[in-house]
Amino acid sequence: MTFADTLTLPMTLIAPDKQNPGLDTINLNLKWEVMDGASGYEWQVSDNASFSGLLAGLTGNSDSSSVRVTQLNPAAAYYWRVRGK
């Protein structure tokens, strides 16, 4: 018997593009490709690449392949990630 766990594969992030300046920080859409076998997605936004300190209100779950993030600081850099579950 062989079992392939597709949920361990990395997600493909679609938007916004990496290092894209001048984004709408009030109403930003994060988008990713649908992952086969996923019943939902867990997403996180952080102000540091190690995600050592998650920001309040910038983490959650989604049943779709996108989420709208609001109230980001326009003078800050952000990192985001998502995983299928």
So where are the chain's domains?
16-84
* pLDDT at res. 33: 95
How confident is the model at residue 2, as a pLDDT? 84
Instruction: State phi, psi for 6 to the nearest 5 degrees.
Output: -70, -15
DSSP E strand boundaries for the chain: 13-15, 27-32, 41-46, 54-62, 66-70, 79-84
CA 72 centroid distance within chain: 14
Return the pLDDT at 82.
95
Contact 31, 43 (CB under 8 A): no
Instruction: Report the top-level CATH class of 16-84.
Output: mainly beta
Listed as ranges, residues in the chain with pLDDT below 70 are none
Per-residue pLDDT, 84: 93
What's the confidence (pLDDT) of residue 68?
Answer: 95
CA atoms within 13 A on the CB side of 79: 9
The reported pLDDT for the residue numbered 58 is: 93
> Which pLDDT value is given to residue 3?
76
